[in-house]
Amino acid sequence: MNRIAKLLGVMALAVPLGAMTGLATAAEQAAAKADPAKGETLYTQGVPDRNVPACFSCHGTAGNSSAAVNPKLAGQMADYTHKQLVDFKAKSRDNPIMSLYASALTDQDMRDIGAYLAKQQLKPATAKNKETIEQGQKIYRGGIAAKGIPACAGCHGPTGAGIPAQYPRIGGQYSEYTEAQLVGFRQGTRKNNSVMSTIAARMSDAEIKAVADYVAGVR
């Protein structure tokens, strides 16, 4: 591994741009190989010598958090989980807890954790508010044309399972967390996706609450 990496480094200096692009792709593919077994160890034990606590202490056994403040991670797409950890580290998604932990993880750690979580079975949350469920469903399936809000289902899928690898799963997530993310996108504390920022900026508190509750129950 090391020798190949060094070799690639040396070659990259010597070869013209076209060939370099080819090499970068090969290097990216090598890095993209993720090991779910290593991911499980990281998830269940953390990295004690880098002060990273076990993820399961907040996110629950196999990614099924039992506290609404901590999102469920089970069954999420590996690429999305990887991207969030990268973004926490870079603080384009700034969260005091997660940005601290992510800053102590390597890119490979992040890929391994993503691969592990993608294989876990989600135990979904449920919707709680009968009064807003219809409004939430309408927004989810059809958007709000008058405000230029597109249907969530168009990207996150009719059952909330997402569309690999660009659009994350959101179905079955705690409504409190989904609401907090939409508010974060709207006020700019979460600025790692411009589409979601634009959408959330057009939504009222009541619309956010209604769709977040619907999303918790969508299957």
* Known binding positions for heme c: 55, 58-59, 98, 152, 155-156, 196
Q: How far is CA 218 from the centre of its chain?
A: 18
State yes or no: residue 216 binds ligand HEC (CB under 6 A): no
Structure tokens at 219: 């299957």
State yes or no: residue 161 binds ligand HEC (CB under 6 A): no
User: 212, 125 in Cβ contact below 8 A?
Assistant: no
Structure tokens at 169: 């799963």
Cα 20 to Cα 139: distance, rounded to the nearest angstrom: 46
Task: Name the CA dihedral angle for 188, 86, 48, 114, rounded to a multiple of 10 degrees.
Answer: 110
Minimum CB–partner distance for residue 1 and ligand HEC (Å): 24
State yes or no: residue 81 binds ligand HEC (CB under 6 A): yes
User: 179, 173 in Cβ contact below 8 A?
Assistant: no
Give residues 6-25 in contact with ligand HEC (rule: CB under 6 A): none
Minimum CB–partner distance for residue 125 and ligand HEC (Å): 12
State yes or no: residue 86 binds ligand HEC (CB under 6 A): no
State yes or no: residue 149 binds ligand HEC (CB under 6 A): yes
Binding mask 90-109 for ligand HEC (x = CB under 6 A): -----x-xx--x--------
Q: Is 157 left (phi over 0), alpha (psi -120 to 50) or beta?
A: left
Q: How far is CA 62 from the centre of its chain?
A: 16
State yes or no: residue 211 binds ligand HEC (CB under 6 A): yes
| Residue ranges binding ligand HEC (CB under 6 A) | 46, 52-53, 55, 57-59, 69-71, 73, 81, 83-85, 95, 97-98, 101, 113, 139, 149-150, 152, 154-156, 166-168, 170, 178, 180-182, 192-193, 195-196, 199, 211
